Amino acid sequence: MMNPLIRKLERFTRLSDADKRLLQEAASARIVNYDTHQDIIAEGEEPTDVNLILAGWVCRYKHLADGGRQIMSFLLPGDLCDLNIFLLRRMDHALGTLTPVTVAKISRDLLQEMLNTDPRLTRALWWEVLVTAAIHREWLVNIGRRSALERVAHLLCELHVRQRAVGRVRDGRCELPVTQVELSDALGLSAVHVNRTLRDLRLAGLIDWRDKHLAVPDFEALAAVALFDPDYLHLDHEGERFDAAC
């Protein structure tokens, strides 16, 4: 199995064969499977491993007092969950599966060793952390300031682009194995309104979402509705300027 993390990190920086071997080993040591709607780690727990998603979709979320929840990230194959375990003792949010999921557990100690010995890999992994924060910021804009139509379209654009970045889009078609309720929990909208908004996008011919797959016939058109600008994903091989330094 080609490690999807390697593919993604190579967008950012070139990795040596040794880097890749190290990552590949780390990602093979301890594989764990989860069913749909399970917590990989709950809010308040003390994490012991970093979770690398090999297959399936995961979300970060928090529960609210009134029973609602807010999803703060969608994590796809190749995404790394808790690089913060080195510094923050307790999880201030939970990680839950949206589909059946396979993760590789990378222990603190192993990761620490990788970070100590491999500066290029260190940079690549911190790039992950910073891009995650950049996505959080764009979500703030999305939820705070955009209309429901723009909001839904924007999230669909993001998920489409992120999947394209790791080779998971064919003919404008990618996975979208989440429910409308889950989308609404991510967007700060009601499920009913998400449903109506999706209908509007469908009627406008902008999306075709069926069988857990999203087809976007004209990405530019959808991006225009969403006011989507992919800069915040920092996907354009920015790290290559570091190669000289390594």
Partner DNA sequence: CGCTGCGTTGAAATTGCTCAATTCAAGTGG
Partner DNA sequence: CCACTTGAATTGAGCAATTTCAACGCAGCG
Q: Which residues bind a copy of itself (CB under 8 A)?
A: 60, 62, 64-65, 68-70, 72, 84, 86-90, 92-93, 123, 126-127, 129-134, 136-141, 143-146, 187-188, 227, 231-232, 234, 238-239, 241
Q: Quick one: what does residue 105 bind among a copy of itself, DNA, none, with the CB cut-off 5 to 8 Å set by partner type?
A: none
From 107-115, 147-155, 162-170, 227-235, give the range in contact with DNA by CB under 7 A.
147-155
- C-beta atoms surrounding 218 within 10 Å: 12
**Bridge partners, 60 (sequence order):** 73, 95
Radius of gyration of the chain (CA): 18
Q: Give dist(CA 94, CA 46) in Å, integer.
A: 11
Q: How far is the CB of 117 from a copy of itself (least distance, A)?
A: 14
> Token pair for residue 68?
């609602």
Determine if 147 is a binding residue for DNA (CB under 7 A).
Answer: yes
Number of residues that bind DNA (CB under 7 A): 16
Determine if 227 is a binding residue for DNA (CB under 7 A).
Answer: no
From 50-58, 123-131, 196-204, 216-224, give the range in contact with DNA by CB under 7 A.
196-204
CA distances from 58 to 73, 77, 97, 212 (A): 8, 9, 4, 15
- Of positions 55, 134, 149, 161, contacts DNA by CB under 7 A: 149
Q: Give dist(CA 183, CA 176) in Å, integer.
A: 10
Q: Which among 50, 69, 48, 49 has a CA at the least distance from the CA of 60? A: 69
Q: How far is the CB of 231 from a copy of itself (least distance, A)?
A: 6
Determine if 23 is a binding residue for DNA (CB under 7 A).
Answer: no
Determine if 99 is a binding residue for DNA (CB under 7 A).
Answer: no
Determine if 71 is a binding residue for DNA (CB under 7 A).
Answer: no
Q: Give dist(CA 155, CA 29) in Å, integer.
A: 34
> Token pair for residue 197?
């908004």
CA distances from 26 to 4, 32, 41, 119, 121 (A): 13, 13, 20, 16, 13
Determine if 177 is a binding residue for DNA (CB under 7 A).
Answer: no
Determine if 69 is a binding residue for DNA (CB under 7 A).
Answer: no
With 0-12 / 13-18 / 19 or more C-beta atoms within 10 angstroms meaning exposed / middle / buried, residue 37 is exposed
Q: Quick one: what does residue 104 bind among DNA, a copy of itself, none, with the CB cut-off 5 to 8 Å set by partner type?
A: none
- Of positions 31, 39, 190, 204, contacts DNA by CB under 7 A: 190
Judged by the rule CB under 7 A, the positions of this chain that interact with DNA are 147-149, 179-181, 188-193, 195-196, 198-199
